[in-house]
Structures are given as structure tokens and as C-alpha cells.
Amino acid sequence: MGAVAGAVLWPRLTQPGDTHGAARVEVSGPAEVAVGERAAFVLDHSDVTSWVWELPDGRFVSGRRRVVLTPRGAGRARVVVRATTTDGAPLVTTHHLRVTP
């Protein structure tokens, strides 16, 4: 009973999604790239006023529709875009990338 009551009383803590009403964000780019190979990523969006890219190398890039990165090590990486809709709601989308040797 205690666990059930706790689940009902505590609000759900969730991350923003990639859509909110008519607003949306989507990143296109390669799913796999070799170390040292340049990779371009493009943001497609609607009803969004601002956004920032969070790149795997630690950089943050604001307001650009396209970013380019060159991986320096093999493994898995994520390219994340956080955006704000015209009505102030947060959106986030993540593009997963495999970097091969």
C-alpha cells in the first residue's frame, strides 16, 4: 500500500519529448562514422523559437541548423538538441552515433 500511495502522490518526473502539439525537433545525420571522419548533423524543426546542440566533444552550439564534428575516439556518442517551442515548452531529441576505429 505504501508504494502504491507514493506512486500516486508523487508527480511523474519525465524528460521533455521531441514533440509538443505541432512543435517538433528531429536530427538527421549518420548513424555510424569512423574516427577522424567529419560528420554533419542537421536539425529539422517546426514551431520552435530557440535551440542548442550538445555535442559529444563537450561543445554547445546555439541557433545553427547544421553542425559538423570529427570524432577523435571510437565508441558510442550522442548528439542532443534541446529546444523551446513558441509557447515556451521544452523539447529534446537525441541522435545516437557509433564511432568505429
The domain limits of the chain are 16-100
What pLDDT, on the 0 to 100 scale, is given for residue 15?
Answer: 63
CATH superfamily of 16-100: Immunoglobulins (2.60.40.10)
How far apart are the C-alpha atoms of 40 and 11, rounded to whole Å? 38
Bridge partners (DSSP) listed for residue 45 = 25
Within the chain, which residues score under 50 in pLDDT?
1-13
Instruction: Name the average pLDDT for the chain.
Output: 87
What pLDDT, on the 0 to 100 scale, is given for residue 19?
Answer: 80
- pTM, to two decimals: 0.81
